[in-house]
Amino acid sequence: GALLALSKPPGLPILGRPGDLSLDALLPALRRRLGLAAELHVVKAPAREYSGLVLLSSCYHTTKNLQQFFTNARQRGQYPATYRAITVGVPAEVEGEICTGLCWQQQGDRAMVRGCWWAVVTGDTPGSAEGCALQVVPVPAPGRRSLARKDVKITLTHYRVLSALEGCALLQLQPKTAFPEQLQVHLTLLLCPALGDHEHSSHVGRVLGVPFFLTPETAPTRTQVLEKELLTRLGLSPRQLHHLPLHIHLQELLLP
C-alpha cells in the first residue's frame, strides 16, 4: 500500500541543511525512481549514527496515524522498535532494564539545556550549527523541579543478551522512551559501550580488567579504545579506529 521500508547506512542523517546529503534530500529522487505519484514522508527512522529500518509513507494520514501509534505503544509499556547492538563487554545479567534520567549538558559546564527535542528527529546535537559543545549525560536521581521543567527526562530501555563471545556481546534493545543517544548512554551504564561509540565509550574505565563508570566531567570524549585482540579480529589498525561506525541497528518495527 502506502508503506515503503528500506535500510539506512550509519552516518546518514534524516534531515540536513540545504545542499547536505540526508534522507530527506533523497526522497524526491526515490519517488521518481519508484514512479510514485505522491510525496514520501518519513514515518520512523533511526538516528544519524544508527543503521537500520526506515519506514516511509506516501499517505499523509497513514504517516500521522503510525507516528501516533508508536507514541501510544510506548505509553502503554509496549516496545514498538527493536534494536540490535554489538557491545564491548558482556552485561552481568542476561536480561534486564536500564532506567535513568537523561539531559543535555554543556561540556565543561553543569548548565542544562532545554528545547532540544528536534535532535530526536535529526540525530544531531542541538546547537551544533552554532558550534555549541553539548552532550547527553545521565542523571541518576533527578529532582522534581527538573522533571517538571522537562530539563531531565526519565528514560527506560529493556535489554537481552542474544549471544556473547570473547568479551563482546550481541544485545537486543527495546527502548520504551525516546531521547537522543539514549541507547549509547544506557549501554555505558551497563559498562558495555556499543562498538564504534566514540562519544560515550570513554565513560567506561577499567582497573585490573574490571570496568567502572566515569562521569562525563572526568572522562573527555575520545575515539573508542579497543584491545589489541579485538582490533586484530576486526582487521583494523589503531589509526583506523575513528572510522569504525556505531554498531547499533534498528532491526524491527511493530505495526498495528
- Single pTM value for the model: 0.86
For every one of its 256 residues, what pLDDT tens digit does the chain have, with 9 covering 90 and above? 899 999 999 999 999 888 899 999 999 999 999 999 899 999 999 999 999 999 999 999 999 999 999 999 988 988 999 999 999 999 999 999 999 999 998 765 444 444 443 343 344 444 443 445 788 999 888 888 888 888 899 999 999 999 999 899 999 999 999 999 999 999 999 999 999 999 999 999 888 778 889 887 788 888 999 999 999 999 999 889 999 999 999 999 999 8
Domain match, 173 and 201 both: yes
Using the structure block, give the residue that is written with the C-alpha cell 519517488.
31
Full domain range(s) for residue 58: 3-78
Question: Where among 78, 100, 119 does a domain terminate?
Answer: 78
Return the SS3 of 98: strand
Query: End of a domain among 53, 78, 103?
Result: 78
Phi and psi dihedrals of 53, rounded to 5?
-60, 135
Domain boundary among 30, 49, 78: 78
Beta bridge partners of 81: 253
Q: Do the Cβ atoms of 129 and 16 come closer than 8 Å? A: no
